[in-house]
Structures are given as structure tokens and as C-alpha cells.
Amino acid sequence: MSQQLNCLGLVCPEPVIRCRSLLASEQPDTFSVLVDNSAAVENVSRFLGKQGYTVAVEQRSDAEWALEAVRREDDRTSASEAGPAEHSHTSQSSHSRVGRSVVLITTETLGRGDDVLGRALMGNFLTTLPEMGDQLWRVVLLNGGVRLACEEGKPLEALKALVKQGVSLYVCGTCLTHYGLLDTKKVGETTNMLDIVTSLAEADKVIRP
């Protein structure tokens, strides 16, 4: 019988951290993870996928999902040779070293005073980000900023264009859940605080408009 991680009642990023610890210590070929929210389902599935696992998701009730992880055959040998699992962001090391910049956005408006003006300015800001060229590595949306990835308008189109150009877009899953927007996200990867903190640590520059 494969090992089971019971992460019921744990909010992100704790389920991902528990999985990372298991991989670092034991590197199992198969195991299962129990979670009780859809944000954790997406975050854990994405993390394990990057670590060489195929993940099957079974929803057992409105508040319980079982994730069955099986290491892909072509990754089993490399895992046994590599030692402890690498963090999911290691794959980003190939990014151009001209300088990696992360843009951290925590509101749907830019500046204070008039919200209509602030939304227009945010749209202009996102549309202008490609001028950063190869330095722009990742955009992270937190708190009210996650609405930009959900609501139709100039900001959403600008974000879609950035992703199409190869910019990584991370959208906080806890924030999406809080605002009831998890199922309405239209662009970007649903992520957790562990990934966000790691992104900020790995960046050469953090820009917060």
C-alpha cells in the first residue's frame, strides 16, 4: 500500500511543503495526498508534476480530494541518482541572466485617489511591461490584484499577452478562494505562498507598483 499524506485542514502552502519534505526524505515512486480545497488540488498537482509525477485526482466529496501520485517511468532512475528532490523553481534557472525582475501586484488599481483612473492606469502599466524586455521574468498577483486575471478588460488582455510572450504569471490561490474567483481565473498559474516567496528570493529585482 502506498504512503498517504493527510493534508486535510491545511491551507496552502502547507500541503506543498509536506509533499516537498516527503520527496526530499524518501522519494517514493507512489503515494497519495488528501486535501480539502481546490486551490490545494491545483498547487499540489502542479508541484508534483514538476517533480516528475503523474497525478490523478479523485473528488470524494465537496470538501475532500485524493491525489494519487505515480512517478513517471523515465524519471525514476534520475530521481534515485539525483538525491533529494529539487525545488520546483529550479527549472527557471535557464532564464536569461541579464537580470530577473518580478512584478508584484497586490491591488487592481494603480495608485490612490480615483478607482476609475487607477484601473485605467493599471491597464496602461501592464500593457507597457513588455518594454522591460528579457528582464521581465514573472508577474505575481496577490490580494485584490488577482481580480486582474479574472475580469474582462484591458488588464486581462495585457496579462494574456505577457504570458504569450513567455512571461510567467502567478496568481495566489488563497486570494482567489477568498474572493470566490478560483473558477473564474482566465490566465496564469494558481500558486501558493511558498512559490511566491521563492520567486521574490530568486529575483534580482522586485518591482511593486
Q: Does pLDDT of 27 surpass 80?
A: yes
Q: What is the mean pLDDT of residues 150-159?
A: 96
Q: Would you place residue 80 in the very low, low, confident or very high pLDDT band (cuts 50, 70, 90)?
A: low
Q: Which of 18-22, 33-37, 44-48, 78-82 has the lowest mean pLDDT?
A: 78-82
Residue 78: the pLDDT is 58
Residue 38: the pLDDT is 86
**End-to-end alpha carbon distance in the chain:** 50
Q: Would you place residue 1 in the very low, low, confident or very high pLDDT band (cuts 50, 70, 90)?
A: low
Question: Tens of pLDDT along 169-188?
Answer: 999 999 999 999 999 999 99
To the nearest 10 degrees (0 to 180), the angle between helices 14-25 and 193-202 is 70
- Residue 190's CB is within 10 A of a number of other CB atoms, namely 26
What whole-number distance in Å separates Cα of residue 103 and Cα of residue 206? 6
Mean pLDDT of the chain: 88
What whole-number distance in Å separates Cα of residue 15 and Cα of residue 180? 21
Of residues 143, 114, 135, 139, the one with CA closest to residue 125: 139
Using alpha carbons only, give the angle 124, 127, 131 rounded to the nearest 5 degrees: 115
Residue 143: the pLDDT is 97
Percent of the chain with pLDDT over 70: 88
Q: Does pLDDT of 93 surpass 50?
A: no
Residue 126: the pLDDT is 96
Residue 150: the pLDDT is 97
Domains of the chain with CATH codes? 3-86 (3.30.110.40), 94-207 (3.40.1260.10)
Q: Does pLDDT of 96 surpass 70?
A: no
Residue 191: the pLDDT is 92
Residue 91: the pLDDT is 41
